[in-house]
Structure 1
């Protein structure tokens, strides 16, 4: 039978360990951008954000359909717009101001590239150059936005009408097609490193998260979700470490993303059951707080790093991280207090009859957007 969402909760419960996952992922990205990219896999941090977004968004769609009998696309796009756009445009404006004042020792910025950032097209350098942009890393957010535009419509018209298992298999089929495209690109393109940033070659990381939300979802009681054992998690983490150890470019731009995304299914399933020391660590207050601010942190951290390097050119590695971390947190606090929370209140007022997002302890809501 179609995915009716029977026995789905009325609202998605708040899962504090997922905020901890966000915090861990943003720390990986931050360390990589501060000079540790040779040992810290910043790209894997982005893959974690992708998987998490796919899981959350699809789970929210399933719960809304169970609660109301349908999915409101206008409500979905309004929620996403109020969640994503105000912090993003304000961060772009702030980075542009620092650049205009000469406070960023940055490459020359092309206005057309900024337009690409503002319209979520900067991950396609054939349209807008990705090199001459402001230091706001929007290529991954562009991939997320393209997913947000298409996937809810596909869910309403197709995936939501299938049995959850069949819908998950359909997503896996698309993942296989994406892998095939990457392999063809390696064979045909001189610069196949663009597999890293194109939507049609990276969307599978998000779709693997959708698979977990559609089938064996611990949040949906009717799914009777599989509970991984510790050795399952250990094996999946070993697979991920193995993908990081292999340095062959062709592997890294093809199978690496597939293996990492598929392996993430296991630790995420483990964490979603809400038990164990890893869950308690990720759900600790500092990790929850950083996870709550992770979107603004991701948007702002590269501009802050560039500003710190302008003021103290000799900093690198740990010293750069220690100098850039506090002002980035200050920006996040201001953004959350003055922009994100008011936007969350506005969302609730505009959509008072459709509350599919879980209410947090501080009155905010858990959203699927990657801080990437």
Structure 2
């Protein structure tokens, strides 16, 4: 086995392919919003699926392997999310005042308190901010995972794994049942944390239990096969058991095994451009939405809207997200902040 593959999973190191995975996720969202959704309904939601399983794998490493102190975990989450989100809401609330995208203080508060996804699920669309539903799901899931970490750090690993996996499986079953019962767009079901958290929790649970075996030879092919199979399940699955349940498990297997996958597969995620997009992905995800709405309203051409959305996202990352995150992390930790995946 090549040395680049045969390293112990206990070793702390940065994994470039995970940046690339994040980059792929936001590119899929962009492709869907600016064209592909017209031909493949909900294509963009597959990008969110990629984000969710990545989040589960990363949070499992941070909370259950490295065992970051819970207060520090929440401080880093605040630094990671709130500066860029607050500035985005402030600017869009002013820029779209009196237009089709106008929203009031109550809507902004629902986004900043991460309650927007349930308001949407119960019939209150928010236009410019409705993409924040996925951020709500992530933050709710992180709170639950942190509580589990706090409660189980003196317990055995099987108990921890069992609790997380059971929660993910219940969310998965809940989603399948709700899709079957849905009379309208089944995509609405996925806005709910008690459904969408499945990808985060199952990925976290599988990473915890499979981590000791990730350096073995069979992982060189599991990740590529799992990713291809997940794409097929998402594209051609006609039942929620397949396009939601099976797809979620396969994506989780793909992301937790990517570090030890075959070099030809892993290199696809390690290119500098894709990794840069991944580093900027949160800000790009925030800022693509208003331009997606402008294109959908016929105010701007789709190509120009796409370019402007990416440009604003990169600017947000360079001018707001990255410097303020570093400043806040330094303030919280009282020491120079190292770059992390948190």
- TM-score w.r.t. the length of structure 2 is 0.84
Residue in structure 2 matching 1:243, options 233, 243, 262: 233
Q: Which residue of 2 aligns with 1:283?
A: 270
CA distance in 1, matches of 2:183, 2:20: 39
Find the aligned partners of 1:112 and 1:143 in 2 and give their Cα distance.
19
Contact 1:53 1:206 (8 Å CA) reproduced? yes
1:54-89 CA deviation, whole Å, 9 max, x = no partner? 110110123433xxxxx4221111110111011011
What's the offset of the Cα at 1:31? 1.1
Distance of 1:172 and 1:28 partners within structure 2: 27
Question: Offset of 1:210 from its aligned partner?
Answer: 0.5
Residue aligning to 1:145:
139
Q: Pairwise mapping of residues 120-269 of structure 1 onto structure 2 (< 5 A)? A: 120-125=114-119, 129-135=123-129, 137-158=131-152, 160-186=153-179, 190-191=183-184, 193=186, 194-217=188-211, 225-228=215-218, 232-233=222-223, 235-246=225-236, 248=238, 251-252=239-240, 254-269=241-256
Gaps of 5+ in 2: 1-7
TM-score normalised by length of structure 1:
0.78
Equivalences, count: 331
The 3-state SS of whatever aligns with 1:120 is coil
Task: Answer whether contact 2:202 2:249 (CA < 8 A) is retained.
Answer: yes
Q: Which residue of 2 aligns with 1:24?
A: 24
- Residue from 83, 92, 95 that aligns with 1:95: 92
1:92-115 Cα distance to aligned partner (Å, 9 max, x none): 11221221164xx54x64553333
- TM-superposed deviation, 1:223: 5.3
2:312 is aligned with 1:331: yes
SS at match of 1:85: helix
Q: Which runs of 4 or more aligned residues in structure 1 lie more than 6 Å from their structure 2 counterparts after TM superposition?
A: none
Taking a change above 3 Å as real, the CA distance of residues 188 and 336 of structure 1, as seen in their structure-2 partners, is: closer
Preserved CA contact (<8 Å) 1:91 1:136 = no
Counterpart CA distance in 1 for 2:235 and 2:111 is 32
Cα distance change of structure 1 residues 312 and 73 upon mapping to structure 2, 3 Å threshold: same
Higher RCO (C-alpha under 8 Å, 6+ residues apart): 1
Shift of 1:215: 1.9
Is there any run of 5+ residues in structure 1 with no aligned partner, and where? 1-5, 66-70, 368-372
The answer to whether the Cα contact below 8 Å between 1:240 and 1:263 also exists between their aligned partners in 2 is yes
Q: Do 1:178 and 1:201's aligned partners in 2 also have CA atoms closer than 8 Å? A: yes
C-alpha RMSD of matched pairs (Å): 3.0
Pick closer, same or farther for the CA change 1:109–1:101 going to 2, 3 Å: closer
Q: Per-residue deviation at 1:297?
A: 0.4
Query: Relative to structure 1, is the Cα distance of residues 164 and 111 closer, same or farther in structure 2, using a 3 angstrom cutoff?
Result: same
